[in-house]
């Protein structure tokens, strides 16, 4: 959390600049990620998730969000990171894609950061191909890198790739 706060502090220096974009920050497997704030519908704590047998391993299950059924995607597994320990709690970021709601399971959700576009750059080509596919680019924060997740691509599963 302290890291997040530092990152937030770094961004507040350049407030009120037009070239700023707002991101919800989150940590997944020790890395800092961001999702454009307008994409995010809800942030939830630990939820009861129904496992779905036969589903791809990165689909954690389904959960009930105020009467709507939301598919939970474990971003750790999606990013080929080691799975969460049994007692580790996950938080959910609910996003919408193609009229469907998805809940992205992440380790923790931080603050909303307003980031300067001058600090943005594309992912270096040497980065893991899967990570490069799922990210739009990287923000260089003070002492930390924030990877911007591309929600739409993150939610393209194998069977829809050809579509």
Partner 1 sequence: MDDLLREFLTETSESLAVLDVELVKLEQNPNNPDLLGSIFRLVHTIKGTCGFIGLPRLESVAHAGENILGKLRDGALEVTPAAVSLILECLDRVRTIMTALEAAETEPAGEDGELIARLNALADGTGAPAPAAKAPEPEPKGSLFEQVGGLATIDAFIESLYMKVMADDRLKGFVADVNLDRLQAGQRDSLGMLLGGPSGGNEAALAAGHEWLVSPGMGAKDVAILDGYLNEAMTALEVPAKAITAIMHKLQQSRGLAGGNAPAPAAIVAPEPAAPEPTIAAPATKERKMTETKAKVEGENAEAKESAVAAQSIRVNVDLLENLMTTVSELVLTRNQVLQILRTKKDSDFAAPLQRLNHITSELQEGVMKTRMQPIGNAWAKLPRLVRDLAHELGKKIDLVMLGAETELDRQVLEMIKDPLTHMVRNSADHGLETPADRRATGKSETGKVTLNAYHEGGHIIIEIKDDGRGLPLDKIKAKVVQNGLATEAELTQMSVQQIQQYIFKAGFSTAAKVTSVSGRGVGMDVVRTNIERIGGTVEMRSVEGQGSTFVIKIPLTLAIVSALIVACGGERFAIPQISVLELVRVSPNSEHKVERIKSTPVLRLRDRLLPLVMLNDMMGLTSGAGVEATEHYIVVTQVGTHSFGIMVDRVFDTEEIVVKPVAPILRDIAMFAGNTILGDGSVIMILDPNGIAAASGQMNASGVGNAEVATQQGKSKQQRQSMLVFTAANDTPKAVPLALVARLEEIDVSQIERSNGQLVVQYRGQLMPLVPMAEDFKIRESGRQPMLVFSDRDRTMGLVVDRIVDIVECDLDVKLSSDRSGYLGTAVINGHATEIVDAGHFLTQAFGDWFGSAGESDFEIQNRRRLLLVDDSAFFRNLLAPLLSVAGYSVTTAESADKAMTLHESGDEFDVIISDIEMPGMNGFEFAETVKKSQRWRDTPMVALSSHASPRDIDRGRKAGFADYVAKFDRDGLLQALSETFTQLRGAA
134 near partner 1 (CB under 8 A): no
46 near partner 1 (CB under 8 A): no
98 near partner 1 (CB under 8 A): yes
**Which span sits near partner 1 by CB under 8 A: 1-9, 46-54, 84-92, 138-146?**
46-54
Separation CA 136–CA 126 (nearest Å): 15
Contact 69, 62 (CB under 8 A): yes
Contact 50, 61 (CB under 8 A): yes
139 near partner 1 (CB under 8 A): no
102 near partner 1 (CB under 8 A): yes
Separation CA 107–CA 79 (nearest Å): 13
Closer residue to partner 1 in complex, CB, 10/155: 155
Q: Which of 24, 13, 15 is nearest to 113 (CA)?
A: 24
Contact 7, 146 (CB under 8 A): yes
Binding track, positions 56-85, relative to partner 1; x by CB under 8 A: x--x-xxxx--x-x-x--------------
103 near partner 1 (CB under 8 A): no
| Helix extents (H) in the chain | 2-12, 75-78, 129-134, 151-154
**Which span sits near partner 1 by CB under 8 A: 20-28, 110-118, 125-133, 153-161?**
153-161
Interacting residue ranges for partner 1, rule: CB under 8 A: 48, 50-56, 59, 61-64, 67, 69, 71, 98, 100, 102, 155, 157-163
């Amino acid at each position: 959390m302290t890291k997040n706060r530092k990152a937030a502090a770094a961004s507040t220096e350049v407030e009120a600049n037009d070239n700023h974009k707002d991101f919800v920050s989150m940590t997944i497997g020790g890395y800092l990620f961001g999702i454009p704030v307008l994409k995010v519908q809800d942030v939830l704590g630990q939820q009861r998730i129904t496992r779905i047998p036969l589903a791809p391993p990165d689909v954690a299950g389904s959960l009930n969000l105020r009467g709507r059924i939301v598919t939970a995607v474990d971003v750790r597994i999606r990013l080929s990171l080691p799975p969460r320990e049994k007692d580790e709690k996950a938080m959910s970021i609910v996003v919408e894609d193609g009229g469907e709601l998805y809940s992205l399971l992440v380790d923790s959700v931080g603050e909303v950061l307003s980031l300067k576009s001058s600090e943005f750059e594309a992912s270096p080509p040497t980065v893991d191909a899967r990570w490069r596919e799922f990210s739009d680019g990287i923000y260089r924060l003070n002492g930390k890198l924030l990877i911007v997740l591309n929600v739409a691509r993150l939610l393209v599963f194998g069977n829809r790739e050809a579509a």
